[in-house]
Amino acid sequence: LTLPALGFGSAHLGELYAKVDEADSRATLDAAWDSGLRYYATAPWYGRGLSEHRLGGLLRTKPRGEFKISTKVGRQLKRPKDPKTFDRSPWTGGLNFEVVWDYSYDGIMRSYEQALQRLALDTVDALVIHDLDREYQGERFEQSKKEISESGVKALQELKRTGDIQAYGMGINSDEALETVAPIVDLDFCLVAMPYTLLDQKSLHRGMAALQKRGASAIIGAPYASGILVTGSTGPAHYAYGKASPEIQARVRGIEAVCKAHNVALPAAALQFVLAHPIVASVIPGAAKPSEVVANVGHVNTPIPAAFWADLKAQQLIDPDSPVPAGK
């Protein structure tokens, strides 16, 4: 499976921070297509099915050979017992569907089949094991690990062997999980959501290095660190899907000062930094407005001088061993 360097992350269309009306959602997706984006990433969890429905509304109208799409497995969706009182949190909007965790062979196959129906597609290019993480699952975590390693991975291997999918990977939310959870099954890639960004390179010599040694690729799923690397240190300042700490905000202010000195946009630095790592195949920033899509495309193509990266290293704002773009 070969992916373009820049893709489209569709979590925002699931309405995490704010509701997105149908017209804005479709306009955003149309802008992505019109801007030349041809890799789309989604998941059943995003808006409890809403993101997949919205994305499928666009892609089912396009020639199947002209785009790549990945979705995630490990969660199934079902009708809640009482839809009138159902709590959709953490989603601001989304749909009324309850989550059922299941990483077994049957669970992976059912999750895959449900996703195809929501997308209105008969194939996806890659499947991603989603949120196999103690923080999300609590007491169920050990059972989930056992399910994926004993039977769930067999479903993914079978789907790849038969040509239903071209690759499978695992979504990773933390530095610890990249080191301890990602190795439990053989993978083609990891979708790295937070452990490798312009703000955090602790995984450089550990988790990312281990992936490289295994011959696995990486897709960077949260290049803006869930918000702060596009909004900056002021305003909402979201980091790791919550409020940024004073320490993180101070670090961002340091990077912003270097950006100002070199006339570099902070989001451009965030996107181009992660793409410089040799195992990173694609980066998938999110967008909820057409203007955000256009901005992402522009940021990837904006020239950044080599002196900018040198100053970040000199001021210890990024790991001195971090791969960086050659400079333009």
**pLDDT reported for residue 226:** 87
**DSSP H helices in 138-278:** 141-147, 153-161, 175-180, 207-214, 228-231, 246-262, 266-275
- Say which DSSP state 148 is in: I
What pLDDT, on the 0 to 100 scale, is given for residue 100? 96
Contact at 8 Å (CB) between 323 and 280?
A: no
Reference 196, options 218, 217, 227, 180; nearest CA is 218
Percent above pLDDT 70 for the chain: 99
- The model's pTM is 0.95
Average pLDDT over the chain, rounded to an integer: 96
**What's the pLDDT score for residue 241?**
81
Q: How confident is the model at residue 283 (pLDDT cuts 50, 70, 90)?
A: very high
Helix (H) or strand (E) holding 39: strand 39-41
Q: What confidence score (pLDDT) does residue 322 get? A: 97
pLDDT single digits (tens) 15-33: 988 999 999 999 999 999 9
Quick one: which of 241, 258, 239 has its CA closest to 199?
239
pLDDT of residue 108: 98
C-alpha closest to that of 184 among 173, 170, 196 = 170
Evaluate if residue 327 carries a pLDDT over 80. Answer: no
Largest CA distance in the chain: 59
Task: For the chain, state the CA radius of gyration.
Answer: 19
- pLDDT at site 328: 66
Catalytic residue among 46, 105, 112, 196: 46
pLDDT at 60: 97
Average pLDDT over every residue of 66-72: 98
Query: Stretch 81-103: mean pLDDT, rounded?
Result: 96
SS3 310: helix
Long-range CB contact pairs, 310-318, < 8 A, 24+: 311/258, 311/261, 311/262, 312/255, 312/258, 315/254, 315/258, 317/251, 317/254, 317/255, 317/258, 318/198, 318/201, 318/273
Kindly state the DSSP code that residue 224 receives in the 8-state scheme: T
For position 213, what pLDDT does the model report?
96
| 143-152 per-position pLDDT tens digit | 999 999 999 9
Instruction: Dump pLDDT digits (tens) for 205-255.
Output: 999 999 999 999 999 999 999 899 999 998 778 888 888 899 999 999 999
The pLDDT tens digits of the residues spanning 171-186 come to 999 999 999 999 999 9
Catalytic residue check, 46: yes
Residues 132 and 141: their CA atoms lie apart, in Å, by 7
What's the pLDDT tens digit per position in 71-88? 999 999 999 999 999 999
What size, in residues, is the chain? 328
pLDDT, residue 17, reads 81
Distance CA 77, CA 49 (A): 8
- Report how far apart the first and last C-alpha atoms of the chain are (Å, whole number): 29
d(CA 10, CA 150): 31
How many CB atoms are closer than 10 A to CB 100?
Answer: 13
Question: In 3D, which of 193, 84, 107, 113 has the Cα closest to residue 99?
Answer: 107
- Cα–chain-centroid distance for residue 3? 14
Residue 239 DSSP symbol? E
How distant, in Å, are the alpha carbons of 59, 87, 196, 209 from that of 212?
A: 32, 41, 14, 5
Residues in Cβ contact with 242 at an 8 Å cutoff, skipping those fewer than 6 apart:
none
